[in-house]
Amino acid sequence: IFERSSQIPFRVEFFGDEVDGIRLFNPENQISIQNVEHVCVHPATDIIFTKADYKSAQKKIENLLSINLLLLIETEHVYS
């Protein structure tokens, strides 16, 4: 995992559904550098979108696309 607040990525190893180990590693050669007891993973962005947010954005984009397409069709008709 390349945590945005760290210069060194870490690898989480699982045994079944339990964390077996966490290690910092060198991304160039994939060699483990150090074992660690815990890490903090922050979201890539502080903006969290819900499904409703995505649906709303999709509707807005579809509306904008249909308006622009209609404008393009009407403009082509005027110039033909």
- Tens digit of pLDDT for each residue in 23-77? 999 999 999 999 999 998 888 777 888 889 989 998 898 888 776 666 666 655 5
Half-sphere exposure in the Cβ direction for 20 (13 Å, CA): 5
Q: Identify whether residues 10 and 42 lie together within a single domain.
A: yes
**pLDDT tens for each residue of 5-36:** 888 999 999 999 999 999 999 999 999 999 99
Q: Identify whether residues 10 and 29 lie together within a single domain.
A: yes
Q: Identify whether residues 37 and 55 lie together within a single domain.
A: no
Q: Identify whether residues 58 and 25 lie together within a single domain.
A: no
- pTM to 2 decimals? 0.52
Any idea what the CATH number is for the domain that residue 19 is in? Answer: 3.30.2060.10
How many domains does the chain divide into? Answer: 2
Q: Identify whether residues 35 and 53 lie together within a single domain.
A: no
Q: Identify whether residues 36 and 69 lie together within a single domain.
A: no
The pLDDT of residue 76:
59
Find out whether 24 and 9 touch, Cβ atoms under 8 Å. Answer: yes
Residues spanned by the domain of 7: 1-46
User: What is the Cα–Cα distance from 64 to 37, expressed in whole angstroms?
Assistant: 50
Amino acid at 8: I
Compare 4 and 9 and report the one with higher pLDDT.
9
